[in-house]
């Protein structure tokens, strides 16, 4: 019988799928142009709120949501690439690099969007606080950064297919159910300490996450409408 371990808590799973929806909505709306640019801004504000939540949750969330449990270093990256690293329940070292890269690039995109002025249909809520030169500089970063976002999304999707086809590991199912199924024959491939670290995902955990996200959303809403 397979061993079922809760890896991804509900707040983290909801963050993941809401972020996916907001990114898709943001990319679609910006390419539609016209009045849809307002929706692009709304999706951007939502992405910013979600990113702030994820960063905080990376310190106070459940076991495998915490950055300390999967922060990559040169040693474990090289061990993983050479096939010498044990399996992990959460993010492997390469997956961890992808996570941090996405969080960084998306944070740059969402934050610079607050200062964008396309001189046609949209002016960011924070443009009034900085010089025209700064607005121009941040607008250029916001536009050019899209290339990195497309690249990282493509790598992320490619990795999902790679792990499914060549390693027989479904990365999507655990992000939906929250659980990872470990076959008894595979348990020796994991560190015993890792198999004993299931993530907490109870009512208290979810309530704290809901309150935290609500406070962040209200705070972001306050500053962008101030």
Q: What is the 3-state secondary structure (H, E, C) of 193-220?
A: HHHCCCCCCCHHHHHHHHHHHHHHHHHH
Q: What angle do CA 148, 153, 158 make, to 5 degrees?
A: 125
Sorting pLDDT into bands at 50, 70 and 90, what band is 153?
very high
Give SS3 for 181.
Answer: strand
Let me know the angle formed at the C-alpha of 140 by 216 and 143, rounded to the nearest 5 degrees.
Answer: 70
Q: Where are the beta strands (DSSP E) in the chain?
A: 3-6, 179-182
Q: What is the pLDDT of residues 86-102, one digit of tens each?
A: 899 999 999 999 999 99
What is the distance between the alpha carbons of residues 30 and 20, in angstroms, rounded to a whole number? 16
The pLDDT, as a whole number, for residue 191 is 84
> Of 34-38, 123-127, 130-134, which gets the smallest average pLDDT?
34-38
Residues β-bridged to residue 182: 3
Mean pLDDT, all residues of the chain: 94
Instruction: State mean pLDDT over 40-48.
Output: 97
Pick the CATH number of 3-225 from 3.50.50.60, 3.20.20.70, 1.20.120.530, 1.20.950.20: 1.20.950.20
SS3 164: helix
Please, are residues 139 and 131 in contact by the beta-carbon 8 Å criterion? Answer: no
CB 146 within 8 A of CB 105: no
Q: What are phi and psi of 201, to 5 degrees?
A: -150, 45
pLDDT at 118: 80
Mean pLDDT of 147-164: 94
Q: Is 171 helix (H, G, I), strand (E, B) or coil?
A: coil
CA distances from 55 to 16, 103, 216 (A): 13, 8, 11
> What value does the mean pLDDT take over residues 145-165?
94
- Look up residue 163 and give its two tokens: 């792990």
pTM equals 0.94
Domain ranges (residues) in the chain: 3-225
Q: Give phi and psi for 53, each to the nearest 5.
A: -60, -45
CA dihedral (123, 111, 25, 12) positive or negative: negative
pLDDT band at 194 (very low <50, low <70, confident <90, very high): confident
**3-state class (DSSP) for residue 91:** coil
Separation between Cα atoms, residue 176 and residue 92, nearest integer Å: 18
CA angle 66–221–8, rounded 5-degree value: 20
């Amino acid at each position: 019988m397979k061993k079922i371990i809760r890896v991804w808590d509900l707040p983290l799973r909801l963050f993941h799928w809401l972020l996916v929806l907001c990114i898709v909505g943001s990319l679609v709306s910006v390419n539609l142009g016209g009045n849809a640019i307002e929706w692009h801004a709304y999706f951007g504000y939502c992405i910013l709120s979600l990113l702030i939540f994820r960063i905080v949750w990376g310190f106070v969330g459940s076991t495998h949501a915490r950055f300390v449990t999967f922060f990559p270093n040169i040693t474990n990256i090289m061990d993983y690439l050479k096939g010498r690293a044990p399996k992990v329940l959460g993010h492997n070292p390469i997956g961890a690099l992808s996570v941090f890269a996405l969080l960084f690039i998306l944070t740059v995109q969402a934050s610079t969007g607050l200062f964008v002025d396309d001189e046609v249909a949209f002016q960011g809520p924070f443009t009034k606080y900085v010089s025209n030169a700064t607005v121009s500089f941040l607008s250029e970063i916001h536009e050019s950064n899209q290339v990195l976002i497309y690249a990282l999304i493509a790598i992320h999707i490619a990795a999902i297919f790679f792990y499914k086809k060549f390693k027989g590991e479904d990365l999507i199912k655990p992000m939906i159910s929250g659980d990872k199924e470990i076959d008894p024959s595979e348990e020796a491939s994991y560190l015993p300490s890792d198999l004993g670290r299931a993530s907490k995902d109870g009512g208290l955990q979810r309530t704290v996450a809901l309150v935290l996200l609500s406070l962040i959303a209200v705070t972001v809403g306050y500053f962008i409408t101030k």
